[in-house]
Amino acid sequence: MRQYNRDQEYIGPHRASLARKAQPPKNLLAWFLEAYRAEMPSEMHTHSEDVWRDWVSGDEADNGIKAVGGSVLGTPRYQDAFRRFIEDSPFTTEVAEYEGHKDTASHYAFPLRAALARLSGRGPDTAPYPFMARALYRTALRDGDYDGACATLGICEPVRQVYIEEALRRLWTKYEVEPPARTVRESAA
């Protein structure tokens, strides 16, 4: 007796959908700047009269941890989004909440920063991939002026556009909104 695979009729559209998602956008620089602006906090400090004075708990003081921020007079308190942007790891994840319901999967709080961190990898800043990540980050800080960003890094003029295009293409391959699934290994006992 022949078995009927119910998923068979959906394989074609599913593969087409995956192929569309795998294609980079037509303008990678515009995609990059849009993603950068979406992650960048708009305000640095709160507008309240509240000032920030760093403190440590009793347990932290017992372990030798000292207060490192603020001042005796107090400094303006950072916005939470800005504080998270400068202090958190690029690989920080969070769970989205939609209309009071939590999502089942976590996603990166800063997916573009995570992609830049994966692109830079490990090694000295002069190695190829960390250098690419620095060039892209400077391009974002200069609001898309890749020519000026590459000039500050010493990249010669004839290859600047090609270099940034290749860096953006490599960044696109590293970009993921959700972290990879964690595998749980069973012990060989």
Quick one: pLDDT at residue 29? 93
User: What is the token pair recorded at 8?
Assistant: 């068979």
pLDDT band at 58 (very low <50, low <70, confident <90, very high): confident
Reported as a single tens digit per residue, the pLDDT across 131-167 is: 899 999 999 999 999 999 999 999 999 999 999 999 9
Reported as a single tens digit per residue, the pLDDT across 65-121 is: 776 666 666 677 777 888 888 888 888 888 877 777 777 778 888 899 999 999 988
Task: Indicate the domain borders of the chain.
Answer: 27-42+111-174
Task: Please provide residue 106's backbone torsions phi and psi, each rounded to the nearest 5 degrees.
Answer: -90, 160
Query: Residue type at 123?
Result: G
Distances (CA, A) of 94 to 16, 39, 144, 179: 30, 14, 28, 10
CA distance 164 to 155: 10
pLDDT at residue 3 is higher than 60 = no
pLDDT band at 19 (very low <50, low <70, confident <90, very high): low
User: What is the token pair recorded at 171?
Assistant: 């960044």
- The rounded mean pLDDT for the chain is 80
Quick one: pLDDT at residue 60? 74
pLDDT at residue 44 is higher than 90 = no
**Residues whose CB is less than 8 angstroms from the CB of residue 142 and which lie 6 or more positions away in sequence, other chains included:** 148, 149
What DSSP line would sit under 27-82, residue for residue?
Answer: -HHHHHHHHHHHHS-S-SB-SSS-EEE----HHHHHTT----SEEEEEEEPBPHHH
